Amino acid sequence: MTSGKKTKATRNSVAAARSSVVASKPKPWGTIIAVIAVLGLAAGVFGYAYSQIHANNVKEAALAKWKPTDTNKDPSTQLAGIVVKDYKGSRHVEPTQRVAYDQSPAFGGPHDAQWADCTGVVYDKAVRTENMVHGLEHGAVWIAYNPDQVKDDALAKLKTKVEGIPYMMLSPFPGLDKPISLQSWGHQLKVENADDERIDQFISSLLRNANTYPEVGASCENSQFLANPAPFVAEKPGADAVPMDGGKDDSQTQPQPQQNPSTPPSGTASTPPSS
């Protein structure tokens, strides 16, 4: 403090001396000091603002990594090993039909008109894939596991992620090529064990992510299905199976032309309604 006063005093005396010697050009010290003070304050405030915004951005980036937002619509694409495919929704098959799915377990494509109940349901027995895929269309995450490889503690861990948690379902999937496979509409991730941190990251990224499933707001409730779940079919689908681009669009009376399924055929207006 003493030294501060001393420098100020020294500076004043120097200024005084200079103004007496160079009387022709006195410096407007008061103004200059005021300007420097204002500049210093401005710099301080800008610097503080920058550091605050920067810290906030860093914090948000870490939080937002697995959270879908306006600017990060599908965080799951950053997951190692994720498979992403684009599927059209709303194409239905009959309860007796099979779909020749292009993936196992399937995670999109034509499906049964009845969705598998996905209100946080733990299915003890394997369930027909055509119904499970419809649950995915409603925004659910389906955890499938190989019943020969995932048991006891590992299975209990998976159950706590599902039981009673809306839009989650768990079921055994006989013959699964990895111990655990996670499905959401158009997304799949296979992992080796129930402790893999990517399981929660997958769920965080995709559960009811309005950017990634076709029927935003659809319900997971289906008591009728829950009372009597359609059983899993182990045999490979035959030649009569519905192809991936097949199935009946709910909004159409006839099978869609394969090329542009989203455009209604212009000729159907003249077709007389059946019945």
Partner 1 sequence: MTSDETASGRPASGVARTLVISAAVLAVLLLGAAVGLLVKLPGSTGDSAAPASGSVDVGFCQDMAMHHLQGIQMANIARDRSADPEIRQLAFDIASTQLEQVGRMKGWLMMWNEHEQNISGVYMKWMDAAGIHGHGATTPEAGKPVMPGMATTEELTKLRTVAAGRDFDVYWLQLMLRHHVGGAPMAEYASATAGLPFVKTLADNMLKSQSAETDLMKDYLAKRGAAPLP
Q: How far is the CB of 166 from partner 1 (least distance, A)?
A: 5
Q: How far is the CB of 119 from partner 1 (least distance, A)?
A: 6
**CB-wise, 177 or 200, nearer to partner 1?**
200
Question: How do beta strands 248-249 and 83-84 pair?
Answer: unpaired
**CB-wise, 69 or 77, nearer to partner 1?**
69
Q: How far is the CB of 35 from partner 1 (least distance, A)?
A: 5
Q: Are 178 and 152 in contact (CB under 8 A)?
A: no
DSSP 221: -
Q: How far is the CB of 15 from partner 1 (least distance, A)?
A: 10
The string over 14-28, giving b where at least 16 C-beta atoms fall within 10 Å of a residue's C-beta and e elsewhere, is eeeeeeeeeeeeeee
Largest CA distance in the chain: 112
Q: How far is the CB of 75 from partner 1 (least distance, A)?
A: 11
Best CA proximity match to 246, nearest among 85, 87, 109, 86? 109
**Cα four-point dihedral sign 78, 80, 86, 87:** negative
**CB-wise, 224 or 275, nearer to partner 1?**
224
Question: For 203, what's the count of Cα atoms within 13 Å in the CB-facing half-sphere?
Answer: 18
Q: How far is the CB of 4 from partner 1 (least distance, A)?
A: 23
**CB-wise, 9 or 39, nearer to partner 1?**
39
Distance CA 187, CA 199 (A): 13
Q: Are 184 and 141 in contact (CB under 8 A)?
A: yes
Tokens 């048991």, residue located:
151
**CB-wise, 60 or 94, nearer to partner 1?**
60
**CB-wise, 188 or 205, nearer to partner 1?**
205
Binding site for partner 1 (CB under 8 A): 24-26, 28-32, 34-35, 38-39, 41-42, 45-46, 48-49, 52-53, 56, 63-64, 67-70, 119-120, 122, 156, 159-161, 163-167, 200, 203-204, 207-208, 210, 217, 221, 223, 226-227
